Amino acid sequence: MTTTELPDTAIQQDAPESQVPGVTRGETLDGHVPDGPPSTAWARRKLAYKLVNPANRAKFKVIVVGTGLAGAGAAAALGELGYDVHSFTYHDAPRRAHSVAAQGGINAARARKVDNDSIERFVTDTVKGGDFRGREADAFRLGEESVRVIDHLNAIGAPFAREYGGALATRSFGGVQVSRTYYTRGQTGQQLQVASAQALLRQVDAGTVTLRTRHEMLDLIVDDGRAQGVIMRNLLTGEITAHTADAVVLATGGYGNVFYFSTLAKNSNASAAWRATQRGAHFASPSFIQFHPTALPVSSRWQSKTILMSESLRNDGRIWVPLAPGDERAANDIPEAERDYYLERRYPTFGNLTPRDVASRNASEQITAGRGVGPLKNSVYLDFRDAIARLGKAKIAERYGNLFEMYTHATGEDPYTVPMRIAPGAHFTMGGLWSDYDQMTSIPGLFVGGEAGWGYHGANRLGANSLLSACVDGWFTLPYSIPSYLAPLLGKPRLPDDAPPVLEALERAQTRTEALLAADGEHGPTYFHRLLGDILYAGCGVHRTSSTLTTAISEIRALRGRFWAELRVAGTGDHLNQELEKAGRVADYLELAELMCVDALDREESCGAHFRGEHQVDGEAARDDDLWAFVSAWEVPGDGTFVRHHEPLTFDAVPLQKRNYK
């Protein structure tokens, strides 16, 4: 579905022509944000939504792909409302979704502490943290619903930490100066996922949700200009089947694994979102990639992934490097006077709690300058010596014990006695499928939730806003907006399973699967994935320049050619075949990676995690609000060209300002 087929999404505002070969300027998109103050937009939109009579809800079928916090919440809520919900996951159980990995906490503007927090401060922190490249009205919805999210999760069994008197406990995260992060030790994502999965299974037991595990989405069915189903492959039997519906929700997570070395689970992938892009959905801000500052460094070329250490550790840990480049001494042998606590020095107001993009960029600069530590000189120290001396080992163990244990298992070192070693690692993707204020993509009937979308976070996500945004989407946005979309469809027949668009989608999926299985080259898919990761870390990593991006685009195109010429997929397609799964995902990464680099090359500014070396002032990101205060939403025709549509961004409650954490 192209923008010209959606005239109601177009408004008039110009944008600069792209200087990137093969890129053309498209239409201006309307995010359908209600007119008026952004602080009341959500209340007014909810009141304007169409409703579906409870007696009619079972007549509508909704497919939800993904069972993380966004997918589980949406499926459970819609099921409890009475809709016919079909939930799919490639996991063997819904609780295994990657939301379990967000350990540190979940933000909420509940203002329970006397530290002057409020929804307005939450919005200011979120908009500023995203470097003014996200929707302001979305940030208000995030803050407003955050109160309900905590109360709801607490009610369905999430074991939040509590103060002595019984009130829910909070701590701070990067980019804020108040305490608004609710947590369950260092297992917050895991505990919230367990609670949400149980809520989903309750609806499965009630018969309102049909759950299919070990199914992977291979294609999207589009007919009459709207999404009307999905093509799924049973990972155990290889059977490829079509499933039609009145609406489809993609809650399939982010695409950080495109970098190979990332904090994501190895199965996390971009294929569902990329298939929607190939069917006409716009992909927003693909180059906005967050590098987590407290990932564990790669210690071996043949390590399979990096490991995430929660940002909550920066509450008490101090980050430093040796003053002298190439210092070979053990950390505890370096005296205080010869240590550089560079975040505290450069950003005295926020110190070690600077936003993730700032912390990662500074760590990368220290490593590049030769002050990196560890066997490969590719990390910095996160030191708890002073916190243990001040609070005692027992208190630190109470707050972070499971994280310290995980670090010891991964490295063989004891963080109670020697500093942790951390390094920036590819983590969260602020980009994703473009959607309007109602979470609907440029394809009517296709909705998106959680990290698969682009909303809320702009060019940098504040820590502990990821679990929140997924929960807000799943529990408190999609259950309002989807019924409003469905209401006018009452009485219209659902697309038959044997309709031509369904059969065409089935044939596409079958043909692609057969092409992958027929590959009889020299290398498995992991070989190409590693090479792609090397290209992206060098060309589209923490620092990007016109030169590195141009080189990366050329290398990605060459690698994609090699992939299809040299790929080998062992086994057959009629049983569990993880090599086949990997091959399909890497093929998608090789296409998405080019778009990421094109987007980064096209955006002639620095903002948040998108740091172009040509656009900086005193080492800080230099935005260009006159030309680039918009979201790039890319259309991919499939002929090697790209069309950059854009949605203008306006800021009424939080005026555009220089982002300063000093």
Q: Is residue 588 helix, strand or coil?
A: helix
C-alpha 246/C-alpha 62 separation (Å) is 6
What radius of gyration do the chain's Cα atoms show?
A: 24
- For 591-627, b/e burial (b = at least 16 CB within 10 A) is bbbbbbbbbbbbbbbbbbbbbbeebeeeebbebeeee
Catalytic residue among 121, 314, 356, 461: 356
- 356 counts as catalytic: yes
Task: Judge residue 459's burial from the number of C-beta atoms within 10 Å of its C-beta, 0-12 exposed, 13-18 middle, 19 or more buried.
Answer: buried
**What is the Cβ-side half-sphere exposure of residue 12, based on CA atoms within 13 angstroms?**
0
Residue appearing with tokens 């399979």: 304
What crossing angle do the helices spanning 546-566 and 578-602 adopt, rounded to 10°? 160
* DSSP tag of 304: -
Q: How are strands ordered across the β-sheet holding 84-88? A: 209-212, 84-88, 61-65, 247-250, 446-448
Residue 328 CB contacts under 8 Å (≥ 6 apart), including other chains: none
C-alpha 46/C-alpha 285 separation (Å) is 27
CB 116 within 8 A of CB 633: no
Helix spans in 416-499 (H): 466-471, 478-486
- At residue 162, φ and ψ (nearest 5 deg) are -130, 150
- At residue 368, φ and ψ (nearest 5 deg) are -65, -30
Instruction: List the catalytic residues.
Output: 356
